[in-house]
Structure 1
Amino acid sequence: MAKAKAVFESEAALCAAFIARLPEGWTAYPETAGFDILLVRGADGAQIGVEAKMTLNAKVLLQAVEGVYSGRGSEYPAPDFRAALVPSGAAGAELKTLASYLGVVVIVMTSEAEREAEQKAFAEKFGVSYRRAHVNDKPWFTPELPVIGYDWRRQWADHCPAERCKVPAYVPDVIAGASGPSQLSDWKIKAIKICILLERHGFVTIADFKKIGIDRKRWLDMRWLAQSEDRGRYIAGRSALNLRVAHPVNFGQIEADFDKWKPSTAEFQAALAPLPALL
């Protein structure tokens, strides 16, 4: 029986299929910390940096181990484990062996088309009952992710970073593996807060920028904001930044948390009083 070829339209489709089949307890952060996917285990914070490619090659291995063998890798935040995600049938034995030497686990993902073809072939040969058992037992990807209490060291090399990657406060609403992806950086989360304050109040103040912890100079240079008639107050500029469109899910989440990060009543009342005019 010939094995059906895995079919994914793109690296983004490959990543989406993988994320959809993650076991309970793992959270996928797309396009985070320089990886296509940063996986975080909820129980203890363990991380896996995943790079995705349509075929296992030298490029994806170099991306997966970036910083590890530079001589300075221990100085920077990094994940505990590193992996290359490829479709089933796209990983040669030689490169898989090389990946193992580098401490990179090759995760092989099965496509729905391959799975359906294989299930159909087994059903025709062994009957429908076997097909049902086959559906329930076969994993969507191999190997399995490391589990607490299980001896995973034979497959998963622990790189023991001095510090783990910083995880954003919100799971990025971006597409993992997309070409030229947008990232939900710490700066962008702060920028969204400024946008929300601008929407709610019609202006933002110097105090708002200090409260959020973001520099206002870039906003003025890029004409995202403009000086209002009142000193110290800024209104939307002619090239206003629209992060609600760029990050609709994250924008809504940060907006829902408004009471957690908004300026206090005293701070807002103080901001209502414009700075005295210059003589």
Structure 2
Amino acid sequence: MAKARAVFESEAALCAAFIARLPEGWTAYPETAGFDILLVRDVDGAQIGVEAKMTLNAKVLLQAVDGIYSGRGGERCGPDFRAALVPSGAAGVELKTVASYLGVAVIVMTSEAEREAEEKAFAEKYGLPYRRAHSNDKPWFAPELPEIGGYIWREIWADHCPAERCKVPAYVPDVVAGASGPSQLSEWKIKAIKICIILERRGFVTIADFKKIGIDRKRWLDMRWISHSEERGSYIAGRSALNLRVAHPVNFGQIEADFDKWKPGEVELKAELKAMPALL
């Protein structure tokens, strides 16, 4: 029986199916550190940078190895392992060999449609009990992710031993992995969300708020996200106010729930407002 090719509507659907089938102990950060998916092993922080494509080609391999060598006398930060994620049946032997030479593991993902077709074929040929056993034992993707200890996985997973691992955001991004032109949850955006939350809760923000959060207010004024209020040194929402609650609803809620952990101190606020003329 010829092997069917896995069918996915898009790279985003491929990534979603892969993330849904991850084993316990791994956290997926969509659109992080320049990868479609940055996988982080919870127990020790080991990382896998994953690039997804509908077929294994030279482009996805170049994306997967991007940044291994900076060419400037040292290595940039990067993941421990690198991988290309493709549908089952979409990886040729030649390019899989090239990927191996580059230190890129090729993960092939089975689709629901392919699994159903195989189950139907086995049911017709061997009967229902065999079909169920086959379905339960077969993994959704291969190869398995690298484990701690042992050396069997090293035949497939090349450890690039980066000088520094990729910086992981404080919150798992609520974005779609593999989407075209994705919105990323950058460090700047997390800080911007905090400013938006302060502005919503208090009705204004101050110079001290921007210093406390660690973000430059000049861009906010230039983009008219904020405007000067009647009180010197404080700002209110501008006519083109930034609305990150819509762009990142899950992350916005998470950061808002942690407000007491990062909020500016009220004592410092009162002191700043009192000394405002001296600051300006």
State the TM-score bracket (shorter-chain normalisation): over 0.9
Kept in 1: contact 2:39–2:50 (CA 8 A): yes
SS where residue 155 of structure 2 aligns? coil
User: Given the alignment of the two structures, is residue 258 of structure 1 paired with residue 269 of structure 2, yes or no?
Assistant: no
Q: 1:5 to 1:73 in 2, by over 3 A?
A: farther
CA contact (8 A) 2:69 2:76 kept: no
| Partner Cα separation in structure 1 for residue 63 and residue 185 of structure 2 | 20
Q: CA RMSD in A?
A: 1.6
Aligned residues: 279
Specify the alignment match of 2:24 in structure 1. Answer: 24
**Structure 2 counterpart of 1:177, one-letter code:** G
- 1:246 matched to 2:257? The reply is no
Q: CA deviation at 1:31?
A: 0.4
Instruction: Give the match for residue 51 of structure 1.
Output: 51
Helix, strand or coil at the partner of 2:106: strand
Structure 1, unmatched stretches of 5+, are: none
What secondary structure, in the 3-state scheme, does the structure 2 residue paired with 1:67 have?
coil
Equivalent runs, 1:124-273 vs 2, <5 Å: 124-151=124-151, 152-273=153-274
CA distance in 1 between partners of 2:247 and 2:95 (Å)? 38
SS in 2 for 1:153: helix
Shift of 1:4: 2.2
* Equivalent residue, structure 2, for 1:35: 35
1:103-153 CA deviation, whole Å, 9 max, x = no partner?
A: 000000000000010011111111111111111100000000001123211
2:277 counterpart SS class: coil
The aligned amino acid for 2:192 is: A
**Does residue 1:95 correspond to 2:92, yes or no?**
no
Letter of the 1:161 counterpart: P
CA contact (8 A) 1:65 1:104 kept: yes
Alpha carbons of 1:271 and 1:255: their partners in 2 closer, same or farther (altered >3 Å)? farther
Q: For the residues of structure 2 that align with 1:51 and 1:183, how far apart are their CA atoms? A: 15
Q: Percent identity?
A: 85
Aligned to 1:12: 12
Q: What TM-score does the superposition give when structure 2 sets the normalisation length?
A: 0.96
Amino acid at match of 1:129: P
Are residue 80 (structure 1) and residue 80 (structure 2) matched? yes
Give the structure-1-normalised TM-score. 0.97
CA contact (8 A) 2:245 2:252 kept: yes
- Which whole-Å CA distance do the structure 2 matches of 1:268 and 1:63 have between them? 46
